[in-house]
């Protein structure tokens, strides 16, 4: 699918979307309005039209697609980052523990997007109990992030500056299965707002 087709299909499935700069996760427009009102198809068509036509907001067909997280899209998300080559042993240990926790509480195998760097974005039905934050281990190292209103994630079909693709099935993601109660219990245990921490 092209970026335009992806954005339009996500919109049909009830998500609010925004254009991101080509090869980037950075929004190409001011997008606070898109947290309150999803864009019209005509607006989306404009975003992915030729920027040389000088129409406001045009980014071109190679712009990435961002999914607006929160009530407007009836979704929340978990953002798990894969270990990187230059990570410290403590960072790698925390990310591995984050994966283990997500496996244990039944999140890991649900529909997700694999990011350009091997991480995972898990989408679930909107729940006001989740806040934006980072779940950390006792040493303060991130296990995974929690995302709701005020955030966005890169959609499947988009790419990084190196050409690595974000891969996922938007039809499956759009099912917005509720996250398991174990996730909310985990966050509530260590309390919980920002930052969140766990052993």
Q: Taking 80 as the threshold, does the pLDDT of residue 98 lie above it?
A: yes
At residue 59, the pLDDT reads: 83
Task: 166-169: list long-range contacts, CB under 8 Å, 24+ apart.
Answer: 166/113, 166/114, 166/115, 166/116, 167/113, 167/114, 168/111, 168/112, 168/113, 168/114, 168/121, 169/111
Asked if the structure places residue 21 within a domain, the reply is yes
Asked if the structure places residue 78 within a domain, the reply is yes
- The model's pLDDT over 30-47, given as tens digits with 9 standing for 90+, comes to 999 999 999 999 999 999
Asked if the structure places residue 60 within a domain, the reply is yes
Q: How open is the CA angle 35-3-83, to the nearest 5 degrees?
A: 80
**Mean pLDDT across the chain:** 91
Residue 63's pLDDT band, with cuts at 50, 70 and 90, is very high
Q: What is the pTM (predicted TM-score) of this model? A: 0.90
- Residues 3-25 have a mean pLDDT of 96
SS3 content of the chain, % helix, strand, coil (to 5): 30, 25, 50
Strand order in the sheet with 120-125: 112-114, 120-125, 75-80, 142-147, 133-136, 196-197
Percentage of the chain beyond pLDDT 70 is: 92
Number of domains in the chain: 1
Asked if the structure places residue 198 within a domain, the reply is no
Percentage of the chain beyond pLDDT 90 is: 81
Q: Taking 80 as the threshold, does the pLDDT of residue 197 lie above it?
A: no
Q: In this predicted model, which residue has the larger pLDDT, 49 or 58?
A: 49
Length of the chain measured in residues? 199
- Residues 181-194 have a mean pLDDT of 76
Q: Taking 90 as the threshold, does the pLDDT of residue 192 lie above it?
A: no
Asked if the structure places residue 199 within a domain, the reply is no
Q: Taking 50 as the threshold, does the pLDDT of residue 161 lie above it?
A: yes
- Residues 99-105 have a mean pLDDT of 96
Q: How open is the CA angle 104-179-174, to the nearest 5 degrees?
A: 125
Residue 143 CA to residue 137 CA, distance in Å, equals 7
Contact (CB, 8 A) for 77 and 120: no
Q: Taking 90 as the threshold, does the pLDDT of residue 56 lie above it?
A: no
At residue 139, the pLDDT reads: 87
Q: Taking 70 as the threshold, does the pLDDT of residue 191 lie above it?
A: no
Q: How open is the CA angle 6-10-15, to the nearest 5 degrees?
A: 150
Q: In this predicted model, which residue has the larger pLDDT, 183 or 188?
A: 183
Domain residues for the domain of 134 are: 3-193
Q: At 162, list the tokens.
A: 């190196």
Q: Taking 60 as the threshold, does the pLDDT of residue 199 lie above it?
A: no
How buried is residue 32: exposed, middle or buried, by Cβ count under 10 Å (0-12/13-18/19+)?
A: exposed
Asked if the structure places residue 102 within a domain, the reply is yes
At residue 120, the pLDDT reads: 97
Q: Taking 70 as the threshold, does the pLDDT of residue 5 lie above it?
A: yes
Strand order in the sheet with 64-69: 16-20, 64-69, 151-154
- Say which residue the tokens 């042993």 belong to: 89
């Amino acid at each position: 699918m092209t970026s335009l087709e992806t954005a339009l299909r996500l919109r049909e499935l009830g998500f609010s979307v925004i254009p991101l700069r080509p090869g980037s996760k950075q929004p190409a427009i001011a997008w606070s309005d898109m947290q309150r009102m999803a864009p019209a198809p005509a607006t989306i068509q404009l975003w992915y039209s030729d920027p040389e036509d000088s129409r406001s907001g045009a980014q071109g067909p190679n712009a990435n697609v961002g999914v607006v997280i929160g009530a407007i899209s009836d979704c929340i998300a978990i953002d798990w980052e894969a270990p990187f080559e230059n990570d410290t042993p403590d960072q790698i240990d925390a990310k591995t523990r984050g994966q283990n926790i997500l496996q244990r509480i039944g999140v890991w195998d649900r529909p997700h997007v694999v990011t350009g760097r091997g991480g995972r974005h898990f989408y679930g039905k909107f729940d006001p109990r989740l806040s934006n934050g980072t779940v950390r281990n006792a040493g303060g190292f991130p296990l995974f992030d929690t995302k709701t209103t005020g955030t966005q994630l890169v959609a499947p079909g988009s790419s990084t500056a190196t050409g690595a693709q974000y891969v996922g099935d938007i039809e499956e993601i759009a099912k917005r299965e509720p996250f398991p109660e174990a996730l909310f219990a985990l966050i509530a245990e260590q309390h919980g707002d920002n930052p969140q921490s766990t052993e």
